A and B are shown apart, each in its own frame.
Chain A
Amino acid sequence: DIQMTQSPSSLSASVGDRVTITCRASQTISIYLNWYQQKPGKVPKLLIHTGSSLQTGVPSRFSGSGSGTDFTLSISSLQPEDFATYYCQQSYSDPTFGQGTKVEIK
């Protein structure tokens, strides 16, 4: 199985900050990396697929990059509605998720 490791596990940030979350795969996964956002009591929402493609309807402040084993999710200017937990997920083989990164208000 391919293991996905996110860092950090949690972070505190202020509205307007730029936030970066990293995700590392235990082996190469090409660009088959997706990002989801989950708010408390809600189901996950797809933000980015295949490394850097923004899902329809997702604000352009979200962006993804990377290939191979190292990937990044960036939020250019954090908004109040962005405080949530973010998960990466590889689809190169049987799906696996990272452990999540909780973005909290500073």
Chain B
Amino acid sequence: EVQLLESGGGLVQPGGSLGLSCAASGFTVSSYGMSWVRQAPGKGLEWVSLIAAGGHSPTYADSVKGRFTISRDNSKNTVSLQMNSLRAEDTAVYYCVKWKNDQSVFDYWGPGTLVTVSS
């Protein structure tokens, strides 16, 4: 059974940094694209970043480019999101999501972790 579990959310001051981690089970992250999608309170879904299977370069939404970094640890079967220079508008639930390569869809979602950027 595919499962994703995020950790690392919390309260951080503007300009600060936070690292999120996503533990995957039931599949190997190296074989699939993995993504982070966020949802601000009461708002819609916003794609943040995608790391494709294989050696392709990660991609980022313009809103986080240069501040966020996605990475994958195949030995631990985890995906991470390092978030720097955080802003109030980064406040959201961050979902770790599996990308189904052949259909180009988000097929499994973690329960999400809340990141709050506030002084």
Chain A residues at the B interface, C-beta cutoff of 8 Å: 1, 32, 34, 36, 38, 43-44, 46, 49-50, 53, 85, 87, 89, 91, 94-100
Chain B residues at the A interface, C-beta cutoff of 8 Å: 35, 44-47, 50, 59, 61-62, 95, 103-107, 109-112
Q: Which residue of chain A is the closest to B46 with respect to CB atoms?
A: A97
Contact A97 B47 (CB under 8 A): yes
Residues of A within 8 A of B44 (CB): 85, 87, 97-100
**Least Cβ distance of A42 to chain B in Å?**
9
Of the candidates A46, A94, A98, the one whose C-beta lies within 8 Å of that of B50 is A94
Contact A43 B111 (CB under 8 A): yes
| Contact A46:B112 (CB < 8 A) given known A95-B35, A100-B45 | no
| Contact A94:B105 (CB < 8 A) given known A43-B95, A87-B44, A99-B44 | no
Contact A44 B47 (CB under 8 A): no
Contact B62 A46 (CB under 8 A): no
Residues of A within 8 A of B103 (CB): 49-50, 53
Contact A43 B112 (CB under 8 A): yes
Q: Which 3 A-B pairs have the closest CB atoms?
A: A91-B104, A43-B109, A100-B44
Residues of A within 8 A of B46 (CB): 97
**Least Cβ distance of B68 to chain A in Å?**
14
**Least Cβ distance of B94 to chain A in Å?**
12
Q: Which residue of chain A is the closest to B59 with respect to CB atoms?
A: A94
Alpha-carbon distance A82/B59, docked complex (angstroms)? 33
Alpha-carbon distance A10/B106, docked complex (angstroms)? 24
Of the candidates A43, A87, A91, A97, the one whose C-beta lies within 8 Å of that of B105 is A91
With a 10 A CB-CB cut-off, give which of A46, A94, A95, A100 has the most chain B CB atoms. A95
